[in-house]
Chains A and B, each alone.
Chain A
Amino acid sequence: MRSAIEAVVLPLLALAGALLLFGVWVLLGGVSALDAWTLLFKGAFGDMFSWQNTLQRAAPLMLTALAVALPARAGLVVIGGEGALVLGALGCAALPYLWPDLSGSVGSALVLLAGALLGALWLALAGALRQWRGVNETISSLLLGYIAIALFKHVVEGPLRDPSSLNKPSTHALAESLRIGPIAADGLLADVHWGLVFGVVACLAAGVWLSFTSSGFALRVVGGNARTARLVGLPTSRLVVAACALGGACAGLAGAIEVAAVHTSANASVIAGLGYTGILVSFVARHNPWAIPPVALLFGGFAAAGSLLQRRLGLPDASVLVLQGFAFVLILAAEALRGRLFDMLWPRAPRVLRPVAAGATA
């Protein structure tokens, strides 16, 4: 019970600390902290428009966070979600080149699948290199991310470039019938595309897989103690690579959805750091898929509020990045308090009852 409360209270404390630090930070620049906090809240959750903006931004974050969380449960720190996302976007935009008469909902499903597949292959490579060659997966996945972005730019500005895109090189736009529309015709969800549903369902499904299936349990054993896993005969390597592939598929799907629902073609706007924010979301959610949607909502909200901070208070657009940085550092520092928070606040009874002389030296 204590640990369950702690699992919620510690991240909340860290986030509150990050907001406080951010307030002090803008105060040093001569901007009222109170104004900054109010605008952060208003820009994220203040009215219907900002809610739409927030939900729109939270959708890809849920998927890129899964790209970190799933391998993390197998004991790997994979941070190449950005690369998988970018390749997913490329796969989605490129499939109609190979198969021009693609259309309808089957066509939509296929372009999304193409994106997910490319993302899965990309991160599975990082997992495979670690299992079979002993290459550190954090470094290799980040390098693969840079390589993926180079490939993306090469293909978008070269072979697949739409000649009519002059200032901003892009691929040909997806056919109207392949695009993904809003969830509802009117109301709050009129401007929110189906990507949100994909994100929430993927998080719920990943949580169910980890908690209630034997292969999910096996994965957690691998993550908890790889030696034990090998001793009881679990297929460690296959599980690790599968976790990476599933995570990569999620990030690739996020990229494909960004193309099919937001940008309509693959261009440089896809490379917006969504993969990197996903890392933070996953760490705040302690790699628990069920906790990812609310955390993604929060950070999607901060991102949505960024432009408001820029317009109203004249803060640089990097202020959201600073807030994220503070949050990340404090979340990790809060890890040190785990198991000690309650002891610090309310010392347990026996410690108080100890004789004074012994207690003083202890």
Chain B
Amino acid sequence: MTGSAWFDVLLAILGGAVRVGTPFLFVSLGECITEKSGRINLGLEGVLVFSAMCGFGASYLSGSPWLGVLAAGCSGALLALLHGVLCSLPRVSDIATGIALMLLGSGLAFYLGKPLIQPQAPQIPSIALGAWSDSSQVQAALAINALFPLGVLLAVLIAWGLKNTRWGLVVRMAGDSSDAAKALGYSASGVRIAATTAGGFIAGLGGASLSLYYPGSWNEGLSSGQGLIAVALVIFARWSPVRCLWAALLFGGAGAIGPALQSVGVSGGYYLFNAMPYVLTLAILVATCSPRQALKGAPLELGVSR
């Protein structure tokens, strides 16, 4: 490949990092809040698919993509609420419930989304940060999903809120010691249900970004494990919302390698390049986990790090 081809690939990966990384960002922020309260929601994969379908449907029917975004968030919150309530029953494991939610969420989405496969829905607008350049590649790479700045803002806001507000403290307390929460008169399950629901809303925005921006249509193969990768991504980010942002961009970039290479004509190993995010996730888990001690920064009540 020539130098300019390499430049194009690099640019495409950079642009792809934001484009592919935006759903990762929202889902990992949602998972981060959920896990901070001491519960793990593997079902965000189902939430992502379900909310992508609802968002697409609402945008198609109402004609407004922002109503679609709202619908995606609300439907995600609804499904996550089910997870939160189920897990609060005695002897119900959050891991198993997450698996069930994955199945239920995609089942409901495929069932209700059948008539939505053909039509086109109004899309979320993009912000043209590359307008200064004459190169169409630069413009394409720097056209950014309008939800992305919202995600960045949310990451900073959540980080600040967890640290500095009464609600943030309550959520962290429920995550570190349900006894302490009880002693101060808060119900740990109540806090966790609220946190899981809020997390579902945020993850739902990621679903909207999938069906209303990139790839920008509804089909049954829309999400393939992004919700799950986000769970690992939160571990990688050590439960810090701001680090979730960098991790999401890194994973977005890894996911963009395959399409970027294909755009310059390298098509061999297409599937292998598409599997990069999974390999990267696994490698990072192997590198950061330790059998001897719990991870630094992990909520103490969380089962995943033990």
Stretch at the interface among B69-77, B92-100, B173-181: B92-100
Q: Does B114 contact A (CB under 8 A)?
A: yes
Give the CA-CA distance A140 to B279 in the complex, in Å. Answer: 10
CA distance A319 to B278 in the complex (A): 29
Contact of B92 among A279, A280, A332 (CB under 8 A): A332
Q: Could you say which of B21-29, B128-136, B224-232 contacts chain A?
A: B224-232
Across the two chains, which residue of chain B brings its CB closest to A144?
B282
User: A224 on the interface (CB 8 Å rule)?
Assistant: no
Interface residue B59 (Cβ < 8 Å from any Cβ of A): no
Known: A143-B281, A153-B271, A336-B89. A319 touches B111 (CB 8 A): yes
The complex places the Cα of A133 from the Cα of B288 at a distance, in Å, of 9
Say whether B114 contacts A316, CB under 8 Å. Answer: yes
- Asked if B97 contacts A332 (CB within 8 A), the reply is yes
Which of B91, B108, B275 has the most chain A CB atoms closer than 10 A to its own CB? B275
A51 sits at the interface (CB 8 A): no
When A77-B96, A154-B272, A283-B96 are in contact, do A324 and B107 touch as well, CB less than 8 Å?
yes
B96 in contact with A333 (CB, 8 Å): no
Do A329 and B99 touch (CB < 8 A)? no
Interface pair B96/A135, CB less than 8 Å apart: no
CB distance from B77 to the nearest CB of A (A): 17
Instruction: Please tell me if B139 contacts chain A, counting CB pairs below 8 Å.
Output: no
Chain A contact patch, size range: 35 or more
Beta-carbon contacts of A27-62 to B below 8 Å, as 1s and 0s?
Answer: 000000000000000000000000000000000000
Task: Check: A146 CB closer than 8 A to any chain B CB.
Answer: yes
Residue B138 is within 8 A (CB to CB) of chain A in the complex: no
Q: Are B104 and A329 in contact (CB under 8 A)?
A: yes
Q: How many A-B pairs with Cβ below 8 Å?
A: 132
| Nearest-CB residue, chain B, relative to A150 | B275
Q: Please tell me the number of chain B residues within 8 Å of chain A, measured between CB atoms.
A: 48
Contact A136 B110 (CB under 8 A): no
Q: Which residues of B contact A318 (CB under 8 A)?
A: 107, 110-111, 114
A147 close to B278 (CB less than 8 A) = yes
**Given A150-B278, A333-B89, does the pair A328, B110 have CB atoms closer than 8 Å?**
no
> Does A139 sit within 8 A of B, measured CB to CB?
yes
Decide if A92 is an interface residue (CB 8 Å cutoff): no
Q: Which chain A residues lie closer than 8 Å to B97 at the CB level?
A: 329, 332
A276 contact set on B, CB distance < 8 A: 103
Determine whether the beta carbon of A328 is less than 8 Å from that of B103.
yes
| Chain A positions 194-239 with a Cβ under 8 Å from a chain B Cβ | none
Known: A143-B278, A321-B106. A138 touches B42 (CB 8 A): yes
If A77-B95, A143-B228, A153-B271 touch, does A325 touch B103 (CB 8 Å cutoff)? yes
Docked Cα-Cα span, A279 to B100, in Å, equals 9
Taken together as a complex, chains A and B put the C-alpha atoms of A134 and B305 apart, in Å, by 8
Q: Is there a chain A Cβ closer than 8 Å to B143's Cβ? A: no
Which chain B residues border A343 with CB–CB below 8 Å?
Answer: none
Per-residue interface assignment for chain A, residues 344 to 358, with 1 indicating a CB less than 8 Å from any chain B CB and 0 otherwise: 000000000000000
Say yes or no: B275 contacts A135, CB within 8 Å. Answer: no
Asked, given contacts A283-B96, A316-B111, A316-B114, whether A134 binds B231 with beta carbons under 8 Å apart, the answer is: no
Contacts of B278 in A (CB 8 A): 143, 146-147, 150
Instruction: Decide if B104 touches A332 in the complex (CB within 8 Å).
Output: no
Chain A residue contacts of B110, Cβ below 8 A: 316-318, 321
Residues of the A chain whose Cβ atoms lie less than 8 Å from the Cβ of B225: 142-143, 146
- Nearest residue (CB) in A for B110 is A318
| Contact between chains at B99 and A79 (CB < 8 Å) | yes
Query: For the complex, is A335 an interface residue (Cβ under 8 Å from B)?
Result: yes
- Give the distance in Å from the alpha carbon of A335 to the alpha carbon of B89 in the complex: 9
Query: Within the assembled complex, what's the spacing in Å between the Cα atoms of A333 and B82?
Result: 11
Whether, in the assembled complex, A103 has its beta carbon less than 8 Å from a beta carbon of chain B, the answer is: no
Q: Which of B92, B107, B275, B292 contacts A322 (CB 8 A)?
A: B107
Residue of A nearest to B294 (CB): A134
Q: How far is the CB of A260 from chain B (nearest CB, A)?
A: 24
B27, chain A: closest CB distance, angstroms? 14
Residues 264-287 of B at the A interface (beta carbon under 8 Å)? 268-272, 274-275, 278-279, 281-282, 285-286
Q: Mark B181-193, 1 if CB is under 8 A from A, else 0.
A: 0000000000000
List of A residues within 8 angstroms of B304 by Cβ: 136, 139
In this assembly, does B291 line the interface, its C-beta being within 8 Å of a C-beta of chain A?
yes
B290 at the interface (CB under 8 A from A): yes
A335 to chain B: which residues have CB within 8 Å?
89, 91-92
Q: Which residues of B sit under 8 angstroms from A142, Cβ to Cβ?
A: 225, 228
Q: Is the CB of B96 within 8 A of A332?
A: yes
> Contact between B286 and A129 (Cβ–Cβ < 8 Å)?
yes
- Residues of A298-349 at the interface with B, using a CB-CB cut-off of 8 Å, are 316-319, 321-326, 328-329, 331-333, 335-336, 338
Q: Is the CB of A322 within 8 A of B108?
A: yes
Query: Bound state CA distance, A112 and B99, in angstroms?
Result: 29
> Is the Cβ of B82 less than 8 Å from the Cβ of A133?
no
Interface status of B237 (Cβ within 8 A of chain A): no
Q: Are A329 and B82 in contact (CB under 8 A)?
A: yes
Nearest-Cβ distance from residue B60 to partner chain A, whole angstroms: 17
B291:A131 contact, CB within 8 angstroms: yes
Q: Which 4 residue pairs across A and B have the least CB separation, nearest first?
A: A325-B104, A321-B107, A318-B110, A150-B275
Q: 7 extra interchain contacts, Cβ-Cβ under 8 A, other than A143-B229, A150-B274, A322-B108?
A: A77-B93, A129-B285, A133-B289, A138-B99, A316-B114, A321-B103, A325-B100
Interface residues of A, Cβ cutoff 8 Å to B: 77, 79, 129, 131-136, 138-140, 142-144, 146-147, 150-151, 153-154, 157-158, 276, 279-280, 283, 316-319, 321-326, 328-329, 331-333, 335-336, 338
29 contacts between A and B (CB under 8 A): A131-B291, A133-B289, A133-B290, A133-B291, A134-B289, A134-B290, A135-B289, A136-B304, A138-B95, A140-B282, A140-B285, A150-B272, A150-B275, A150-B278, A151-B272, A151-B275, A154-B269, A157-B271, A279-B103, A316-B110, A317-B110, A322-B108, A325-B105, A328-B99, A329-B86, A329-B97, A329-B100, A332-B96, A336-B92
